[in-house]
Amino acid sequence: MKENILETLKNLNFTEYEAKAYLTLLEESPLTGYAVAKNSGVPRSRIYEILDSLAMRGDILVSPGNTPQYTPVPAKELIKNRRMKAEENFELAEKSLAEFERSANDRENIWNIMGRNEILDKVKACILSAKKRILLEIWEDEFEVLESELRQAANRGVNVTIIAYGEIVCDFANVYLHYMGYEITEEYGGRWLVISGDDSEVVAGIVSLGKDSRAAWTMHVGLVMPITEVMIHDLYLMEIMEEHKELLEESFGVNLAKLRKKFSIHPDYKKHYVD
């Protein structure tokens, strides 16, 4: 009978020595550590370590004094405490595993977002979750909506770098004014927004179509990597233009117009993504 109870206690996360000490105290208490060791068969060299472990876990109580005495928490209370702890652990496991599963799925999925406000809300979430770096391509209109969140990110130590189309001025970010922001607005017939957060998630899409605006959000490395690197290469180009604009325009026309025409597939040399 006692062996069965010992096995039951082991299933409740007791070691063999802890189970023997607890059962001994259930049979008779209070007892000194010496008496618990003598009655339970737990080695005297281990008994105080075992009793301290039980006390820290709340399975027994200690009466302090020159010779401490020990008494067990009643069996019903012990079971109640174990059940509550188990339920807490199951709830935590359920929540944590669901979050992990969702995170793992998010890394493989590409999510469609419709509507300008909805896109900007997702961008705000991306800004709030960033811990190291934000890369952002943006027009003035959308910057005004996101400025507060971007400032908060900078204040908590996130490096914020903005490729700006139009006159964006701020004191908390590295701002690169695109050398042909206004021309691009005319040429593309719309505004886009691209954000890369910590090189681990991106939101990219068209934001100038009101409710018909559309964007994609993903953590899929197959898109996060190339989109982030395209933004970095834009920064390279702007640094190069800053240093060598006259030389480059001599070869490729004002604002590199010859290059844009060279790689256009439309006779009017405009983009038609939103037609």
Domain boundary among 73, 99, 119: 73
Same domain, residue pair 235 and 124:
yes
Please say if the pLDDT value at position 128 is more than 80.
Answer: yes
Please say if the pLDDT value at position 183 is more than 90.
Answer: no
Give me the percent of the chain exceeding a pLDDT of 90: 54
Same domain, residue pair 145 and 69:
no
Same domain, residue pair 27 and 116:
no
Tokens 């899929």 correspond to 220
Average pLDDT over residues 104-108: 64
Supply the pLDDT for residue 155.
Answer: 95
Give me the percent of the chain exceeding a pLDDT of 70: 89
Supply the pLDDT for residue 217.
Answer: 93
**Which tops the pLDDT comparison, 1 or 63?**
63
Tokens standing for 231? Answer: 């933004």
Please say if the pLDDT value at position 254 is more than 90.
Answer: no
- Is residue 196 assigned to a domain? yes
Domain boundary among 14, 43, 73: 73
- The segment with the largest mean pLDDT, out of 84-88, 95-99, 202-206, is 202-206
Same domain, residue pair 26 and 134:
no
Report the number of secondary-structure helices (H) and strands (E) in the chain.
10, 10
The boundaries of the domain holding residue 127 are 111-262
Average pLDDT over residues 160-188: 79
- Is residue 143 assigned to a domain? yes
Supply the pLDDT for residue 149.
Answer: 94
Domain boundary among 23, 51, 73: 73
Average pLDDT over residues 235-243: 87
The whole-angstrom separation of Cα 100 and Cα 153 is: 25
Cα separations in angstroms, 246 against 179, 227, 251: 13, 29, 9
Same domain, residue pair 14 and 119:
no
Same domain, residue pair 188 and 258:
yes
The whole-angstrom separation of Cα 134 and Cα 142 is: 15
Tell which residue, 217, 4, 219, has the closest CA to residue 115. Answer: 217
Domain CATH code at residue 20: 1.10.10.10
In this predicted model, what pLDDT tens digit does every residue of 12-34 receive, in sequence order? 889 999 999 999 999 998 999 99
Domain CATH code at residue 248: 3.30.870.10
Same domain, residue pair 7 and 143:
no
- Is residue 94 assigned to a domain? no
In this predicted model, what pLDDT tens digit does every residue of 110-127 receive, in sequence order? 889 999 999 999 999 999
Q: How many domains does the chain have?
A: 2
Burial class (CB in 10 A: 0-12, 13-18, 19+), 227: buried
- Is residue 248 assigned to a domain? yes
The whole-angstrom separation of Cα 195 and Cα 202 is: 5
Average pLDDT over residues 222-227: 93
Same domain, residue pair 164 and 117:
yes
- Is residue 239 assigned to a domain? yes
CA 67-71-75 angle, 5° bins: 165
Average pLDDT over residues 179-195: 71
- Is residue 90 assigned to a domain? no
| pLDDT category of residue 100 using cuts at 50, 70 and 90 | low
Same domain, residue pair 34 and 133:
no
The whole-angstrom separation of Cα 51 and Cα 64 is: 13
Tokens standing for 85? Answer: 């702890």
Average pLDDT, the chain: 87
Please say if the pLDDT value at position 41 is more than 90.
Answer: yes
- Is residue 102 assigned to a domain? no
- Is residue 21 assigned to a domain? yes
Same domain, residue pair 127 and 255:
yes
Strand-by-strand arrangement of the 174-177 sheet: 110-114, 214-218, 201-206, 192-197, 133-139, 159-165, 174-177
Supply the pLDDT for residue 272.
Answer: 56
Same domain, residue pair 127 and 43:
no
| 136 sits in which H/E element | strand 133-139
Same domain, residue pair 127 and 205:
yes
The whole-angstrom separation of Cα 22 and Cα 96 is: 33
